[in-house]
Amino acid sequence: MNSDTRFDPSTADARWQNAWDQAQTFRADSNSAKPKSYVLEMFPYPSGRIHIGHVRNYTMGDVLARYKKATGHEVLHPMGWDAFGMPAENAAMEKGVHPGGWTRANIAHMKAQLKRLGFALDWSRELATCEPDYYGHEQALFIDLYEAGLVYRKESEVNWDPVDMTVLANEQVIDGKGWRSGAEVEKRKLNQWFLKITDFAEELLEGLGNLENWPDKVRLMQENWIGKSKGLEFSFDLSNGATLPVYTTRPDTIFGASFVAVAADHPVAQAIDNDAARAFIAECKKGGTTAAELETAEKLGFDTGITAKHPFTGADLPVFIANFVLMDYGTGAVMAVPGHDQRDFEFATKYGLPIPRVVAPSVDDAEKPFDGEAEAGEGVIVNSDFLDGMEVEDAKREIIRRIEDQGRGTGKTVWRLRDWGVSRQRYWGTPIPFIHCEACGVVPAPKDSLPITLPEDVDFQTPGNPLLRHPSWKHVDCPHCGGKAERETDTLDTFVDSSWYFLRFASQPADKPFDAAEVAKWLPVEQYIGGIEHAILHLLYARFWTRALAKMGQIEVKEPFASLFTQGMVTHETYSRKEGGKTVYYAPDEISREAERALLTADGGEVEIGRVIKMSKSKKNVVDPDTIIDTYGADAVRWFMLSDSPPERDLPWSEAGIEGCSRFVHRLWRLFGQYDAGATGEDKPLDRKTHQTTAAIAEDVEALGFNKAVARIYELTGAVEKAAPSASRSAAIRTLVQLVAPMMPHLAEEAWAAIGGEGMVADAAWPAVDSALLVEDEVTIAVQHKGKLRDTLTAPKGASKEDLEAMALASAKVQRSIDGADIRKIIVVPDRLVNIVT
RNA sequence: GCGGGUGUGGCGGAAUGGUAGACGCCGGGGACUUAAAAUCCCCUGAGCUUUGCUCGUGUGGGUUCGAGUCCCACCACCCGCACCA
């Protein structure tokens, strides 16, 4: 092999990509007898170009997929496109293009970008959710769910832009105003489609317990999101003769209730017949619908003049309409205990309501004043008649028992989880397959009429839903009575599309969503990789959808993702300077970066180097994968994605870093060039290092600890470079080619061919490890005196405690430190350290 | 506001409760070269009275023979909050 030849990614990359394509190296065979391994990364939204974050995500999955293949698995590693969504409609409005054309062009471009990175993907299973051969099956599944009683319609609030006369996504509401019109956003009720995810709350919660290969943080987030709470629902008698049911998770604090609050759309509030109340309720309609907005808004209330009789004290509590009470949770009314709930505390402070203490650290603290905030923690009950002195949990049980005895209410489990609203008043989504008939009501479209496809001739120049405006699309005959009827014009939330795509990858029959036998072969996904931002919604919806299909008997598997990994973002420093009073940002390719400063290439002026933050278009701190692949080749880019930062943490992109990676690619190539098939002689320490590294990298890759695997490859590379020629060295080089193959596949194929490896390295088995070579026979022992390191010594592995103690005491450095003091104790940790305590 | 996470040299980070800083980047010095690039070698946490000693893992406490790691309190930053994907 000629070591003078430089490795040239600009020709080698494409050559091997074609070779893999030709040989169909990464095509998954479901009839294979090998153990199956389904490796999946969250599929991308085709926004236009591949983002560097995608590159990181897919590189991680790719290393695992290639490693799994090398270790004898039949690997399914597919790719597709989460292709419905708002950006396509925005492009249609801004550029006058069709969402479909825009999306498909993006897919073509992004697919070419992914190909350039050499990912080991089975492209024969590619799918796009915006194509009728995908969403038609989704419509069928939606009808199945309807027939299983898991779909219903109800009124629900949306963000309404009163100028554009259109529904806004939360993202389109900026500081309470519509992003285009700038008009104050209002809450408006619409009749919408819902999926009964709450029917599965209990099993979605319990199922988390079996997902031991999911990050604890994600399981915890889902648990809190589902939010099971045990509490009490009971009714107050109101001064107007009505009864008002409330729900509380803290019945133990009932003696601390100083007022009652209802949501603005609660029937009690709606029934109040005066202008001031109507004005206040209208005021509550202002603003958006997000939890963050509702909970950070100033607490506002309206005293209805109605009072509620306390079930134990008989006191008359004022009833307020309050903007922080949600109609969707519990009964839409709460007993407010300001001493022990922060929102109630703020409200009571503002409106001058009493703040009694009913929980205290001890019975002696019954009169302790509050320190400017509510105390929500544990303690004993005080100022509460028959509850005084009880622990919180005992008091909860006692109150529930007494309320139940009075026939006034009942202990109840309530979930924070709400049903999933899937209606969107938009064009670019899956049409909801239902028909509205005046005579027959809402009826599902006949299955043989599927797919119900989107009309192509649509207008985006007027705001609102193009399906609703379309002259003919919605007009159909009722499948029941044959009379005139109208199609549903709402489309499905794009989260529905991503709730079952992993099933469609396993098989793609034309006549049904999936083949149950193929699903059984491949599912669950062995390793799912994606961003932490999907920790709750996408992952919960996908779990729900899978369980719903299992309940309907369509599949066996209940949990779609056996292991989950959430990777960090790719970040970059920003470059900006003040120009005419405002901050202008510059892109990295407009900058020449020196050690301490950054200059704008155009005019040589210095710009400020800002914090390392998530890449975003507005800060211009983005890098384009195509450009860096052109410059450094796919392997250097892949190597960068795996180096340094632990994969779950953010990865700061830097020009210096990618250059270092590129240098390492060429350094490896030079080393591979030194392979000598005829070399003789044994180099035992190098053999040891090679086998230890092989074993450690296998462990690292299986645990997705790519940064550690990378560090070990650097170490082994250094060791091989320093070693004198020998058969061991040649074996180490050959092994090194295989160890880097999952990470730098193009370089590895080129080297594998050059050293005479059989076939392609992508098809080669992972190098065998001789376990006899994994153990060292000497160890370094740290000697501490009073917990501080004084000396290190070399001892045979497994040396006795007595020997280690004697060796430690024999050290001059140790004796100097002890300086004649009495030795009280010596702690010996075998093969590790000796600690002498004086 | 609520829920979740992260914090270690100039930078990214490593470290089953047991030698803090592996490995990489940056920087400094040297070799090779007419010169440069490339490559190779050495140094690189801070301080000090430098055979060595002291300090040092966001801050303040605690447990332990021994704490980056365990416990308590706090600070800063990041992610999510149901119509962004």
DSSP A532-564: GGGTTHHHHHHHHHHHHHHHTTS-S-S-SBSBE
Q: What is the pLDDT of residue A294?
A: 79
Q: What is the pLDDT of residue A1?
A: 44
User: Taking a C-beta distance cutoff of 8 angstroms, is the pair A637, A629 a contact?
Assistant: yes
Q: What is the pLDDT of residue A585?
A: 81
In this structure, how many other beta carbons lie within 10 angstroms of the beta carbon of residue A830? 14
Q: Pick out the nucleotide with least CA–C1' distance to A594.
A: B26
Q: Pick out the nucleotide with least CA–C1' distance to A722.
A: B40
Q: What is the pLDDT of residue A290?
A: 84
Residue A30 to residue A523: CA distance in whole angstroms: 12
- Residue A687 token pair: 């053999």
Q: Pick out the nucleotide with least CA–C1' distance to A159.
A: B83
Euclidean distance between the first and the last CA atom of chain A, given in angstroms as a whole number: 63
Protein A650 CA to nucleic acid B78 C1', in Å? 10
Provide block-wise average pLDDT over 10 residues at a time, chain A (838 residues). 69 96 97 97 93 93 97 97 94 92 96 96 97 97 97 93 89 86 89 96 94 91 92 93 92 93 90 90 84 82 93 94 85 90 87 90 82 79 91 90 93 92 95 95 94 93 87 93 94 96 97 97 96 90 97 96 91 79 78 74 79 76 88 95 90 89 94 93 93 94 94 94 93 96 97 94 96 85 86 86 89 83 87 88
Protein A494 CA to nucleic acid B85 C1', in Å? 8
Protein A799 CA to nucleic acid B42 C1', in Å? 36
Protein A768 CA to nucleic acid B25 C1', in Å? 33
Distances from the Cα of A89 to the Cαs of A92, A178, A465, A469, A489, in angstroms?
5, 16, 10, 15, 16
Q: What is the pLDDT of residue A176?
A: 85
Protein A541 CA to nucleic acid B58 C1', in Å? 37
pTM of the full structure = 0.92
Instruction: List CB contacts of A370: < 8 A, sequence separation 6 or more.
Output: A339, A345, A355, A357
Q: What is the pLDDT of residue A398?
A: 93
Protein A615 CA to nucleic acid B70 C1', in Å? 37
For A501, half-sphere exposure in the C-beta direction (CA atoms, 13 angstrom radius) is 28
Nucleotides of B under 7 A from a protein CB: 1-6, 11-16, 18-20, 22-27, 38-41, 52-55, 65-67, 78-85
Q: Pick out the nucleotide with least CA–C1' distance to A714.
A: B23
Residue A14 to residue A117: CA distance in whole angstroms: 9
Q: What is the pLDDT of residue A434?
A: 97
